[in-house]
Amino acid sequence: LAIGSAALTALALFVTFAQATRLKAIDLQNPAVMAGLFIGGLLPFIFSAFSIQAVSRAAEKMIEEVRRQFREIPGIMEGTGRPEYERCVDISTAAALKEMIVPGLMAVLAPVAVGFLLGPQALGGMLGGSIVTGVMMAIFMSNAGGAWDNPKKFIESGAHGGKGSAPHAAAVVGDTVGDPFKDTAGPSLNILIKLMSVVATVLAPLFVM
């Protein structure tokens, strides 16, 4: 539902952008349009890579903090010591804000740069390319991430050898990749395609001056 909503919103904004810039058609024989298409098709992949790397870096910091607490706070495993939960929450919150600065700037600045440097035709191509690959990537990541994430729970219930088996080790790897796919990269692509369409539509009059 969220992916479909984002796609419809982006398409509606794309039509609004075309009307604001008085684009009757987008000529695929125009080299600038093709350049815009490739840029737009590439952006969801770059954005997804940034978001997945952000999850990885935040997880590494969280692991280091948990290990520190196990070393320095006695009785955690026995239930007699209280872990410092707020430190882990701080790490997660700070990473969520800091790590998305670059992807967020990319989503805002890419339409501005293409619009001013290559013109409204190229920007229309960029929006079209980002919508097509963004929607496909969002559907793929949400479904593949769920498919990779859930087998671990099934195996841990006793199926295929249960915990400690080779299938369980493989499922742990799948869970590690599947979580950022379905919880981070996939849903964030909805915002990417909508945000770029909004920026392009708002600034459309500047690109035809």
**Residue 76 pLDDT grade (very low, low, confident, very high; cuts 50, 70, 90):** confident
pLDDT at 38: 95
pLDDT at 194: 92
- Asked if residue 61 lies in contact with residue 91, where contact means CB atoms within 8 angstroms, the answer is yes
pLDDT at 27 over 90: no
pLDDT at 158 over 70: yes
pLDDT at 164 over 90: no
Mean pLDDT of 75-99: 87
Q: How many CB atoms lie within 10 A of CB 105?
A: 10
> Nearest Cα to 148, choosing from 171, 180, 168?
171
pLDDT at 209: 60
Instruction: List, as one string, the DSSP characters of 77-146.
Output: TTTSS---HHHHHHHHHHHHHHTTHHHHHHHHHHHHHHHHHH-HHHHHHHHHHHHHHHHHHHHHHHHHHH
> What CA–CA distance (Å, rounded) separates 11 from 131?
8
Mean pLDDT of 176-190: 89
pLDDT at 151: 86
> What CA–CA distance (Å, rounded) separates 47 from 42?
9
Question: With pLDDT > 70 as the criterion, what percentage of the chain qualifies?
Answer: 100
Residue 100 phi/psi, 5-degree rounding, is -95, 5
> What CA–CA distance (Å, rounded) separates 178 from 165?
20
> What CA–CA distance (Å, rounded) separates 47 from 65?
27
pLDDT at 3 over 90: no
Most confident of 76-85, 91-100, 197-206: 197-206
The predicted-structure confidence for 90-130, as pLDDT tens digits, reads as follows: 998 998 889 889 999 999 999 999 999 999 999 999 999 99
Mean pLDDT of 190-196: 92
Burial class (CB in 10 A: 0-12, 13-18, 19+), 149: buried
The predicted-structure confidence for 28-53, as pLDDT tens digits, reads as follows: 889 999 999 999 999 999 999 999 99
pLDDT at 43: 95
Q: How far, CA to CA in Å, does 44 sit from each of 6, 135, 138, 164, 187? A: 14, 9, 9, 37, 12
User: Rg of the Cα trace of the chain?
Assistant: 22
